[in-house]
Structure 1
């Protein structure tokens, strides 16, 4: 397998996002990529500007970052022409590597907008080098800019950032330094195209947690009523578990639960409710083994949510009582 380190530059409307309802907020104006072999050696490169059709005037903030001359973009080829050659250059057996999670969804949104056939597999796995940098060199949770990562690793800055080819170069340098025994299994999942049916839903097991990606639902309430979404399973022995703490939400978006495996101990469940491009809801659920101390903290968090809800209900009843008395 080969690795395609890809970076995109894009433009948007100077007045905001008037075309968002048409499915394209950001229009790609440059595609850059490096091809790496299994030894993480660079064996090819791709770089081409894209002539903007929807947003021909470059947003001033974008122009300040990328510094592409308008006449260069005016002379460039259109997105369908460029992306066709890009895919031909990629070949057949490869995995995308990007800094962060935005490039692949935006690439596919541009493909949808311009009617370019999407032949990517579902699910589409890729390596998020920003996340892997955090896991290998930082706390595993923080997400820093590419330039900050380069500075932390004390890599030489040979060219300016915020151009596609340059950012690919720096991303490839970091990719080569990763501990691939640790990072190689930690693939990310692209959410642009989601499972269409229950049997297509995604379930992944990593060294210290599991991830499940559901199909779409009309609402988060419908999603939470689904047995597979609401279930808790030990990812080590695959036993279905009874929950010690049922799903609750501190903020109405993320939901938590606590389950206990007789063999492996406490597991914390987390569901992140996300909106799909179609406006529907899908769930991303993770389950992770936690020590008894963190299980106790989860009980405290649940109790705090209950107390806040109790106070709000009391205040609501008091307001209703006052309104009735008036």
Structure 2
């Protein structure tokens, strides 16, 4: 079994002229794929580095240009996403575990594949190296890649915010913290199905939460309610305090556990004041 440690660079919407708008179906568009392939001893056996021609956001966001040192002229003549992904999937091969720093890249890869209609067959096994590092260091908050490199005293010989360089740094971290535990390997498709089931189950409970006045603590009857994605909003009026109350309940995911978090506020003129 091999490991493919990958990193992505993205372009996103920027209003270059009046009337420009973002595409809600694709917030971040892949413009670079960098990856290293390791054997079962975590020894490098190959690397992959490819710039991708943008289709939705054809001009590069100025922030992205500054951060990555990639400009529009570099990506325009490159391969479009579906050709780049065909090359990447062929290079990955079979019997591999896909690895990245955190879940942003795997989610971004999934979103781009879905948008462009590319059926990716390599999402079934995945390792979140950031999560392993956090457990290794006992960290409660997600650290940046660079802070982990500094903490582990890894030599900083490559620029950050380049997909291949960031993948190389992630490999250095991986070698220091991975214990070859099978528990670290996630069945990505299975986890996503389970997460979707948990979210749908909790969505059914959102509207069952009650409103209480944050001023006096009394129960407040709901007179208006609506849902939006993973959030539920309800409004009521506290007869004792003579104040409108807004209730917000939302589904959160913390360390893989989905829960409902609720908050009641005094709500005056469209703004929460408590």
In the superposition, the TM-score normalised over structure 2's length comes to 0.71
Distance 1:273 1:96, change over 3 A: farther
Name the Cα RMSD after superposition.
3.4
The residue number in structure 1 matching 2:157 is 158
List runs of 5+ in structure 1 lacking aligned partners.
196-200, 202-211, 226-249, 256-268, 275-304, 317-326
Q: Larger helix proportion, structure 1 or 2?
A: 1
The residue number in structure 2 matching 1:134 is 134
Q: Larger strand proportion, structure 1 or 2?
A: 2
| In structure 2, distance between residues paired with 1:271 and 1:70 | 40
Contact (CA 8 Å) 1:108, 1:192: kept in 2 or not?
no
Q: Deviations over 1:31-66 (max 9, x none)?
A: 110000000001000001001111111111111110
Contact (CA 8 Å) 1:104, 1:190: kept in 2 or not?
no
Distance 1:150 1:216, change over 3 A: closer
After TM superposition, list the pairs within 5 Å mapping 1:78-89 onto structure 2: 78-89=80-91
Q: 1:214 aligns with which of 197, 200, 203?
A: 197
Q: Deviations over 1:144-163 (max 9, x none)?
A: 11111001111111111000
In the superposition, the TM-score normalised over structure 1's length comes to 0.60
Distance 1:213 1:114, change over 3 A: closer
After TM superposition, list the pairs within 5 Å mapping 1:81-100 onto structure 2: 81-100=83-102
After TM superposition, list the pairs within 5 Å mapping 1:259-270 onto structure 2: 270=257
The residue number in structure 2 matching 1:231 is none
| In structure 2, distance between residues paired with 1:193 and 1:26 | 23
Q: 2:50 aligns with which of 19, 29, 48?
A: 48
Q: Deviations over 1:10-36 (max 9, x none)?
A: 101113993443x11111000110000
The residue number in structure 2 matching 1:319 is none
| In structure 2, distance between residues paired with 1:72 and 1:33 | 19
* Cα shift at 1:224: 9.6
* Cα shift at 1:105: 1.5
Distance 1:254 1:115, change over 3 A: closer
Contact (CA 8 Å) 1:34, 1:42: kept in 2 or not?
yes
* Cα shift at 1:188: 4.2
Contact (CA 8 Å) 1:3, 1:37: kept in 2 or not?
yes
List runs of 5+ in structure 2 lacking aligned partners.
209-246, 268-274
Aligned residues: 224
| In structure 2, distance between residues paired with 1:18 and 1:106 | 20
Contact (CA 8 Å) 1:131, 1:140: kept in 2 or not?
no
1:170 is aligned to 2:139: no
The residue number in structure 2 matching 1:185 is 183
Distance 1:79 1:270, change over 3 A: closer
Q: Deviations over 1:105-163 (max 9, x none)?
A: 21121112222123345xx3411111111111x22422111111001111111111000
| In structure 1, distance between residues paired with 2:72 and 2:149 | 30
The residue number in structure 1 matching 2:4 is 4
| In structure 2, distance between residues paired with 1:27 and 1:175 | 26
* Cα shift at 1:8: 0.4
Distance 1:224 1:270, change over 3 A: farther
Distance 1:55 1:2, change over 3 A: same
| In structure 2, distance between residues paired with 1:140 and 1:168 | 22
| In structure 2, distance between residues paired with 1:254 and 1:187 | 25
| In structure 2, distance between residues paired with 1:54 and 1:192 | 30
Distance 1:51 1:219, change over 3 A: same
Contact (CA 8 Å) 1:194, 1:215: kept in 2 or not?
no
